Amino acid sequence: MSASSSYDPAPIYDSVDIDMVVKVLSQTAFSPFFTCFIPIFYIFQGYEFVNPVVLIPSIYCAAVSAFWLLKWISQLYRNQGSFFFKPKPLDWSEQIVVITGGASGVGELLANTLAVRNVTVVVLDIKPIVTENYNIVYYQCDISKWEEVEAVSKKIIDEIGQPTMLVNNAGVVQGKLIIDLKPEDVYQTFGVNTLAHFWTLKAFLPGMIKNKTGHIVTMSSVMGLVGCVRMADYSASKAALMIINESLRYELDKVYDAPGIRTTIVCPGHILTPLFSTVRLPSNPFFQFFVPSIAPVTVVKAIITALDAQQSQTIFLPFYTNLSPVVRMIPSYLRDLCQKFSGADYSMRDFTKVTARRSDEADLPVVNGKD
């Protein structure tokens, strides 16, 4: 089976894949508005309601409507929403958004996109972000170290103000077998991918709790739900974020009485960013249709939509990642078949860790957290 590099920094069009099919179906065959016209059409043709030609589409329409209604009620419950009133529109000009790993990849695109909306954006990274937006402020910080996060957070609050949104986006990957991992590799992976979330929450969450409002975005990964060769440390570090996000939600609701602070976790598949530019994925059309890579802009759109909606969400991108939790519950022979189809156990075979250059020409790992 042939393989190819999956990194394309600037896709210029949407490919035809399962995500596009699902999107079209959600607006047609799975849309209550669309399906309700099917039985009406037949009734106007003179058919009786008890006729199967009318009855079956009516039952289908009712089932589709019930699904979307239950989903809407669940969303309202999770976010303490009103049945009759939408939340006040978010005033982006009043937001201060902190983005870790914002100097490249998804973080960089998110920072620049928010800046266009007149948002004050604070980027924490080990290397500076290259941008022409005046409202992006950069602070050099190794977020894996509590002392640096604590010191920088105090400067941010004093110089800019209390952040209203926190996007924990930074991440690193080693791409090594377990016995080949050096202690410093493991420390770095968990320091950036996991411990940094604790440090930024400790630094910025108290102010949000005091104001009873805010939004925490946690960038996890589909690899936090499944494992594969050469990804043990990365997958484990991302799996931890699932529990951190869930525990944080209950602490905010039950301990601090701050349900107005929203929590969103993003679980993407392979994203076309430099971090995984040397990953080798199957290039056959069948794989690319069902397991497509996604552009950074797709992830950024989903994050901004969640922030704008002011709702806690769990975001799986692309569509196939929604099935990842189910994979853990199927029989082992089916699980192995899925693993073989994905090519995951061979995708990191030729992986090369991407490094970045700073003005002092020191080699630094890319910290942009994208899968």
Residues classed as catalytic: 234
343: region left, alpha or beta (phi > 0 left; psi from -120 to 50 alpha): left
For residue 244, the surrounding DSSP H or E stretch is helix 232-250
CA distance 96 to 41: 51
Bridge partners of 217, per DSSP, are: 167, 264
CA distance 76 to 73: 5
CA distance 168 to 149: 13
Cα 161 to the center of its chain, rounded Å: 26
End-to-end alpha-carbon separation of the chain, Å? 23
| Strand order across the 214-219 sheet | 136-140, 120-125, 96-100, 165-168, 214-219, 261-268, 313-317
Are 222 and 324 within 8 A, CB to CB?
A: yes
CA distance 50 to 3: 55
154-159 long-range Cβ contacts below 8 angstroms, 24+ apart: 156/98, 156/122, 157/207
CA atoms within 13 A on the CB side of 342: 24
Q: What is the maximum alpha-carbon separation in the chain?
A: 80
